């Protein structure tokens, strides 16, 4: 039912807004492409926070600001979704007993490099074999 409602909501997106969004997307892709002229891959946190507690609606960031769960979780994964860049997340440790991930982002169509970097990281660390304490 929810999917149907979301699809139906798409009927109300104006063509001019859609075209504007495509232009903005291209600007974002161009900026990321410029960055990848000087680097092979970008290493970043997969998420800006650990898993939320049941019922939690927002995160308090280290600087004291508050951010909704959706905004926090989407912030670091959205660039690859918008640009279509290849990315992978691998385990890289624990914070307060919760697993955290390392995101590896590559140039367009360079999935092979992203996978090689992930494999090299896992070959030199043990995080992928670790489990949180219960």
Two tokens, residue 132: 């949180």
Q: Are 79 and 45 in contact (CB under 8 A)?
A: no
Long-range contacts of 113-116 (CB under 8 A, 24+ apart): 113/40, 113/41, 114/41, 114/86, 114/87, 114/88, 115/88
The pLDDT value given to residue 125: 94
The SS3 assignment for 76 reads: helix
Q: What is the pLDDT along the chain (134 residues), one digit of tens a residue?
A: 778 888 888 888 899 999 999 999 999 999 999 999 999 999 999 988 888 888 889 988 888 889 998 888 888 888 898 999 999 999 999 988 888 999 999 999 999 999 999 999 999 999 888 888 77
The pLDDT value given to residue 61: 81
Contacts for 130 with CB less than 8 Å, ≥ 6 apart:
91, 94
The pLDDT value given to residue 13: 87
The pLDDT value given to residue 27: 96
């Amino acid at each position: 039912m929810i999917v149907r409602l979301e699809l139906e909501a798409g009927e109300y997106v104006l063509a001019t807004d859609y075209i504007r969004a495509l232009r903005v997307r291209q600007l974002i892709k161009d900026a990321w492409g410029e960055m990848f002229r000087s680097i092979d891959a970008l290493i970043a946190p997969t998420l800006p926070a650990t898993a939320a507690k049941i019922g939690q609606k927002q995160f308090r960031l280290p600087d004291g600001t508050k951010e909704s769960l959706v905004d926090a979780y989407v912030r670091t994964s959205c660039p690859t979704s918008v640009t279509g860049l290849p990315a992978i997340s691998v385990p890289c440790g624990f914070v307060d007993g919760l697993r955290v991930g390392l995101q590896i982002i590559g140039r367009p169509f360079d999935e092979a490099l992203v996978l090689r970097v992930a494999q090299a990281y896992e070959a030199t660390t043990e995080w992928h074999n670790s489990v949180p304490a219960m």
